[in-house]
Amino acid sequence: MSLRTLLTLAVLAGVFAPSASAQSRVDFASQIWPILEKNCVSCHRAAFRDDRDILRKPKAGLRLDGKNWILKGGRDEKVVIPGDPEDSLLYTLTTLQKSEDGFMPDKGGPLPKREQDLLKEWIQQGARFGEWTNAAGSEDTAAPVVPLDRLPTAIKRLHELGQGLAPASSGTIEKAARAAHARIVPAAPGSVLLRVTFASHENEVGDKQVAALAPLQNHITQLILGRTLVTDRAMMTVGRMKRLTRLDVRQTDVTDRGLARLAKLKELRYLNLFGTDVSDQGLAVIAKLENLESLFVWQTKVTKDAAAKLSQSRPTMKISVDLTLPETPAGNNGRRGRRGKKK
């Protein structure tokens, strides 16, 4: 066989060989479902009556026995955010120590590292289900879930917020993403507004990195800073993001002092303060955020009495003080999973 023939065959073999990504694609039915079925579904399944005729409902309103149920999530929060395992409770709660509050699965031991990694990789790849729709004997009757950023109302809101705003240049976005160790993407298809996350880079993100986002402060509408190293100082930058609608600073060193710097965020609708040192004093600032719809203050210094008073004055605001469906991993004295100090 001539050298030319050998080279031709080698090229053809490369063309027709399965791609590395295709070979490594995590299959839900054969790799993820067995993990859920063994460890999770006994508590997160359709309501049923046990041997004593007691009605057992799915814990926290969360079912994991069907595709649409999984995407729907529980009473308080989605548990799978496709492409973002660090913001997906289905993964993050399995990485806790068994002694920590919110550890999942709450029955039996922790998931083996191999299974944790599979969950993480599956979510990173987009949380695809393939042909799988539901467990045998279970009906996946939940209404098909449309991601929030694709709902007509949400898209309309984002377009209204971005009306008249020129898109940020790709160069500005790329420069900020590199400097901040961030992933920056459109908040919704066709929107000029941006979503910023730091999945897998939390240990590298502090006040300096948040400051690097300043050139995009008019474009950022969703900022996920949970489990990073940010302090009150970073809130100076965040407080200038006038189109911010979603802010997650769970398990950071943000306090009432930092919260005071958010007083002008009139578009803020979701605020996650879980595991911070925010106290009743900080609620005075929150009360002034007129569009805030969801507030998470689990494992903070906020008292139930203060939260109740806020709820009375803002009856349309959903305030989570206690753990129903764990919003985030928990830990030592409310600092579960908190990262070490940045050098």
- pLDDT single digits (tens) 5-50: 544 444 444 433 444 444 489 999 999 999 988 888 888 888 777 6
CA distances from 253 to 97, 194, 200, 225, 228 (A): 21, 24, 19, 11, 9
Give the pLDDT band (50/70/90) at residue 343. Answer: very low
Contact 90, 133 (CB under 8 A): no
- Across the range 268-272, mean pLDDT stands at 95
| Distance from C-alpha of 253 to C-alpha of 276, rounded to nearest angstrom | 6
Greater confidence (67 vs 295) lies with: 295
Contact 123, 23 (CB under 8 A): no
3-state SS assignment for residue 258: helix
| Distance from C-alpha of 185 to C-alpha of 177, rounded to nearest angstrom | 10
pTM of the model: 0.59
Whether residue 182 is predicted with pLDDT greater than 90 in this model: the reply is yes
Whether residue 100 is predicted with pLDDT greater than 70 in this model: the reply is no
Structure tokens of 281? 């004093």
Whether residue 251 is predicted with pLDDT greater than 80 in this model: the reply is yes
Q: Of the ranges 28-42, 63-77, 150-164, 258-272, which is most confident?
A: 258-272
Q: Which domains does the chain have, with CATH numbers?
A: 26-124 (no CATH), 148-334 (3.80.10.10)
Q: What is the chain's percent helix, strand, coil content, to nearest 5?
A: 40, 10, 50
Structure tokens of 335? 């600092």
Neighbours of 126 (CB within 10 A): 11
- With a pLDDT cut of 90, the percent of the chain lying above it is 46
Nearest to 34 by CA among 128, 132, 141, 125: 132
| Distance from C-alpha of 242 to C-alpha of 266, rounded to nearest angstrom | 7
Contact 251, 226 (CB under 8 A): yes
Q: Of the ranges 152-166, 184-198, 242-256, which is most confident?
A: 242-256
User: So what's the pLDDT on residue 42?
Assistant: 82
The mean pLDDT of the chain is 82
3-state SS assignment for residue 272: strand
